[in-house]
Chains A and B, each alone.
Chain A
Amino acid sequence: MTATTTSARSELSELGRSETALRTFLHGLPGVDQVGAEQRAAQLGTRSIKTTAKAQAIDLAIRMVDLTTLEGADTPGKVRALAAKALRPDPADPSCPHVGAVCVYPAMVPYVAEVLRGSAVHLASVATAFPSGQAPLEIKLADTRAAVAAGADEIDMVINRGAFLAGRYKEVYDEIVATKEASGDAHLKVILETGELATYDNVRRASWLAMLAGGDFIKTSTGKVPIAATMPVSLVMLEAVRDFREATGRQVGVKPAGGIKTTKDAIKYLVMVNETVGPDWLDPDWFRFGASSLLNDLLMQRTKLTTGTYSGPDYFTLD
Chain B
Amino acid sequence: MFEYAPAPESRSVVDLKPSYGLFIDGTFVDPTDGGSFKSINPASEEVLAEVAEAGAQDVERAVRAARKAYDKVWGPMPGRDRAKYLYRIARLIQERSRELAVLESLDNGKPIRESRDVDLPLVAAHFFYYAGWADKLEHAGFGPNPRPIGVAAQVIPWNFPLLMLAWKIAPALAAGNTVVLKPAETTPLTALLFAEICQQADLPAGVVNILTGAGDTGRALVEHPGVDKVAFTGSTDVGRAIARSVAGTRKKLTLELGGKAANIVFDDAPIDQAVEGIVNGIFFNQGHVCCAGSRLLVQENVAERVLESLKRRMAQLRVGDPLDKNTDVGAINSAAQLERIRELSDAGSAEGAERWSPPCDLPDRGFWFAPTIFTGVTQAHRIAREEIFGPVLSVLTFRTPAEAVEKANNTPYGLSAGIWTDKGSRILWMADRLRAGVVWANTFNKFDPTSPFGGYKESGYGREGGRHGLEGYLNV
Q: Using a CB–CB distance below 8 Å, which chain A residues touch chain B?
A: 30-33, 35-37, 39-40, 46-54, 56-57, 60, 236, 239, 270-271, 274-275, 279, 282
Contact = CB atoms under 8 A, between A and B. Distances in A.
A53 B117 contact: no
B371 to A, nearest CB: 15
Interface in B1-34: 1-7
Interface stretch (B162-170, B211-219, B268-276): B268-276
Contact of B272 (A37, A50, A60): A37
A32 B1 CA distance: 29
Interface string B93-123: 0000000000000000000010001000000
A48 B273 contact: no
A31 B273 CA distance: 9
Given A53-B5, A56-B2, A279-B2, A36 B277 contact: yes
A37 B6 CA distance: 27
B320 to A, nearest CB: 14
B325 interface: yes
B386 interface: no
B285 interface: no
Given A36-B276, A47-B325, A54-B5, 5 more contacts: A31-B270, A36-B277, A48-B326, A53-B5, A239-B272
Contacts of A236: 272
Interface residues of B, number: 23
Given A36-B276, A46-B325, A30 B316 contact: no
A62 B316 CA distance: 25
Given A33-B273, A36-B277, A36-B442, A48 B2 contact: no
Which of B117, B271, B273, B277 has the largest count of A CB atoms less than 10 A from its CB? B273
Contacts of A50: 5-7
Contacts of B4: 47-49, 53
Interface in B150-191: none
B378 interface: no
Given A31-B268, A53-B5, A282-B2, A36 B443 contact: yes
A40 B2 contact: no
A33 B270 contact: yes
18 contacts: A30-B269, A31-B268, A32-B270, A33-B270, A35-B443, A36-B276, A36-B277, A39-B276, A46-B113, A47-B4, A48-B4, A49-B5, A49-B7, A50-B5, A53-B5, A54-B5, A239-B272, A270-B2
Contacts of B269: 30-31
Nearest to B276: A40
A52 B316 CA distance: 20
A48 B327 CA distance: 10
Interface string B258-270: 0000000000111
Contacts of B268: 30-31
Nearest to A267: B2
A47 B326 CA distance: 6
Contacts of B2: 53, 56-57, 60, 270-271, 274, 279, 282
Contacts of B270: 30-33, 36
B218 to A, nearest CB: 36
B50 interface: no
A48 B113 CA distance: 10
Interface of B: 1-7, 113, 117, 268-273, 276-277, 316, 325-326, 422, 442-443
A269 to B, nearest CB: 12
Contacts of A60: 2
A48 B324 CA distance: 9
A172 to B, nearest CB: 23
A51 B326 CA distance: 14
Contacts of B5: 49-54
Contacts of A31: 268-270, 422
A274 B5 CA distance: 14
Contacts of A36: 270, 272-273, 276-277, 442-443
Nearest to A44: B316
Contacts of A51: 5
A56 B5 CA distance: 10
Contacts of A39: 276
A52 B5 CA distance: 6
A46 B475 CA distance: 45
Contact of A30 (B1, B7, B113, B272): B272
A36 to B, nearest CB: 3
A36 B117 CA distance: 16
A51 B325 CA distance: 14
A291 to B, nearest CB: 19
Nearest to B267: A30
Contacts of A271: 2
A162 B345 CA distance: 55
A51 B4 CA distance: 9
Contacts of A282: 1-2
B466 to A, nearest CB: 21
A48 B7 CA distance: 6
A32 B273 contact: yes
Cβ-closest 8 pairs across A and B: A36-B273, A48-B7, A48-B325, A53-B5, A33-B273, A30-B271, A33-B270, A31-B270
B272 A32 contact: yes
A33 B424 CA distance: 13
